[in-house]
């Protein structure tokens, strides 16, 4: 029986290879964590002593007034929005589209009154693929409607996050 050199021993691959693979995987995880945007979420949510709190005043205001809206996105990038009932008559609204997984795809638009209770804005460029959480509010933030724009959808319903 001939003796194999130490570097040709199959057990050596397990003894050295598994710990080496764990070290490489740990380094890759550290690089991914360092490059991520961190805890980017809703700015109204705060964390104090490991307790998460949120301000629901705008949601209560929207639920109390019975606001609801429908927005549609045309193929040429025009967003048209109309309220289900003529309930709000401000001059402009802020529409925020937050991509569900990638914050770099988020979009914020200012919709201007286009007559008869309708509002409109032009998307700056093409809306990247994916689903979006939408938020509609006046510039003063007095109320808030939320909805979800699914990937490829052309219409979005916005309603209060809370029920009356």
- Model confidence at 10, pLDDT cuts 50, 70, 90, reads confident
**What phi, psi does 125 have (nearest 5°)?**
85, -170
* Rounded Cα distance, 65 and 67, in Å: 6
* Rounded Cα distance, 76 and 93, in Å: 21
Lowest mean pLDDT among 43-47, 113-117, 149-153, 157-161: 43-47
Model pTM above 0.85: no
What pLDDT, in 10s, does the model give residues 85-130? 766 777 889 999 999 988 888 999 999 988 777 899 998 888 888 9
Q: Where exactly are the structural domains of the chain?
A: 6-35, 55-158
Q: How far does Cα 41 stand from its chain's mean position?
A: 8
Helix (H) or strand (E) holding 124: none
First-residue to last-residue Cα distance in the chain? 85
55-158: CATH topology: Immunoglobulin-like (2.60.40)
């Amino acid at each position: 029986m001939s003796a194999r050199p130490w570097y040709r021993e199959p057990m050596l691959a397990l003894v050295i290879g598994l710990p080496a693979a764990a070290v490489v995987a740990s380094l890759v995880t550290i690089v991914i964590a360092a490059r991520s945007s961190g805890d980017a979420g809703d700015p109204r949510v705060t964390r104090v002593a490991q307790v998460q709190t949120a301000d629901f005043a705008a949601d209560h205001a929207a639920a109390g007034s019975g606001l609801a809206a429908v927005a549609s996105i045309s193929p040429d990038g025009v967003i048209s929005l109309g309220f289900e009932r003529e309930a709000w008559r401000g001059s402009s609204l802020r529409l925020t589209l937050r991509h569900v997984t990638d914050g770099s795809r988020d979009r914020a638009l200012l919709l201007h009154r286009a007559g008869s209770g309708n509002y409109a804005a032009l998307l700056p460029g093409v809306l990247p693929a994916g689903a979006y959480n939408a938020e509609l509010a006046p510039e003063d933030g007095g109320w808030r409607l939320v909805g979800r724009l699914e990937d490829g959808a052309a219409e979005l319903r916005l309603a209060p996050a809370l029920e009356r």
